[in-house]
Amino acid sequence: MMNLNHYGAWTLFMRENRRFMKVKMQSLLAPALTSLMYLLVFRYAMGERTVPNFQVDYMSFLIPGLVMMTMLQNAFANSSSSMITAKVMKVHIYFLMAPLSAWEVVLAFLGAAVIRACVVGGLLLLMILPFVSIPLLHLGYIFFYGFCGSVLMGGLGLISGMWARKFDDMALINNFVIMPLTFLSGVFYSVEQLPKTWQAINDWNPFFYLIDGFRYGFIGMGDADPMMGMGFIALATVAMVVACWYLWRSGWKLKE
């Protein structure tokens, strides 16, 4: 028998938001400042150079990629840290005990991941925009890639948190999966500048499509076809949400 608990799902969503707001220096301000540092360093290191194949200055190229990278990392961090902390503190049992369906739990976690990603991304843009002017050509692409990227990474974070048994396991995923894929994805350079092998790997790297498509929304240029990227990302996002639902429903790594 179907039994919905929308208020319960809303409460879990709000609990997740309040959780990251309780540590806002660490969860919001610190990542925005770190990205700002990247920006300053590259601003002075690269000077007035332009990016090959892109007819824009380096700052206009870098800023959208950096904002997206920050959003993706924070979406991942939000759900993964929430889940691994809950598991280490054994609080995850309360999520299992509560009368919430797997859909409701997954939507609450992913919703909060999207909110944190948007808050950090927005904060970063607010810090940058008074000093640098960047174009804003296709809002639809920005919202699509921003939203799907946050859902995708929030989902990956949730699954990683369910899988991990200790914080060290999370560091493993962060350092050996998330960071390499992010840096490979063309945040700081055009992927056309990469050797062919790395370009071939990037063809299957969702981070590449996310950053490229998000950037397209700002400057109207990208390494890949943004429509093809949309299809790839839409499929990956749906697959991720279904995977989260399935794993939560089965109690993977949570129930004995």
Partner 1 sequence: MYALKTEQLSKVYARGKQALKSVSLEVPQGSFFALLGPNGAGKSTMINILADTVIPSSGVVQVLGRNMQIDPLWCKQRMGIVPQEVAFDPFFTPYEVLNIFSGLYGARPDRVWIDTLLDRLELAEHAHKNTRELSGGMKRRLLVAQALVHKPELVVLDEPTAGVDVELRKRLWDFMRELNQAGTTILLTTHYLEEAQELCDHVAILNEGELLLSGRMDALLRDVAGRSVWFEFAQPLQLSATQQEVFARFNPRIEGHRLILATTHHQQASSFHDAYMLVHHHFGAPVDVSIDQEDLEDVFLRMTRKHQ
Q: Map residues 26-65 to x or -, x wherever contact with partner 1 holds by CB under 8 A.
A: ----------------------------------------
Contact status, residue 56 vs residue 221, Cβ threshold 8 Å = yes
Q: Per rule CB under 8 A, is residue 25 in the interface with partner 1?
A: no
Q: What is the size of the binding site for partner 1 (CB under 8 A)? A: 31
Stretch of 40-48, 84-92, 164-172, 202-210 contacting partner 1, by CB under 8 A: 84-92
Q: Per rule CB under 8 A, is residue 162 in the interface with partner 1?
A: no
CB 241 to partner 1: min, Å: 20
Q: Where does the chain have alpha helices with state H?
A: 6-22, 24, 30-46, 58-88, 92-97, 102-128, 139-163, 167-173, 179-184, 196-202, 206-219, 226-250
Q: Per rule CB under 8 A, is residue 101 in the interface with partner 1?
A: yes
Q: Per rule CB under 8 A, is residue 17 in the interface with partner 1?
A: no
Q: Which of 5, 17, 174, 199 binds partner 1 (CB under 8 A)?
A: 5
CB 75 to partner 1: min, Å: 19
Q: Which of 17, 57, 85, 163 binds partner 1 (CB under 8 A)?
A: 85
Number of Cβ within 10 Å of residue 121's Cβ equals 27
Instruction: Supply 252's token pair.
Output: 């993977």
Indicate the residue among 49 and 249 with the shorter CB distance to partner 1: 249
- Closest by CA to 211, choosing from 232, 178, 182, 180, is 182
Which residues neighbour 117 within 8 Å (Cβ) at sequence distance 6 or greater?
A: 71, 72, 74, 75, 78, 146, 149, 150, 153, 154
Question: Could you identify the residue written with the tokens 């332009």?
Answer: 50
CB 219 to partner 1: min, Å: 39
Q: Per rule CB under 8 A, is residue 249 in the interface with partner 1?
A: no
Which residues neighbour 191 within 8 Å (Cβ) at sequence distance 6 or greater?
A: 185, 198, 199, 202, 208, 212, 223
Q: Which of 90, 130, 168, 197 binds partner 1 (CB under 8 A)?
A: 90
Distances (CA, A) of 121 to 4, 17, 132, 139: 33, 15, 16, 15
CB 137 to partner 1: min, Å: 40
Spatial separation of the C-alpha atoms in residues 143 and 145, rounded to whole Å: 6
| Footprint of partner 1 (CB under 8 A) | 1, 3-5, 7-8, 10-12, 14-15, 18-19, 22-23, 85, 89-91, 93-94, 96-101, 251, 254-256
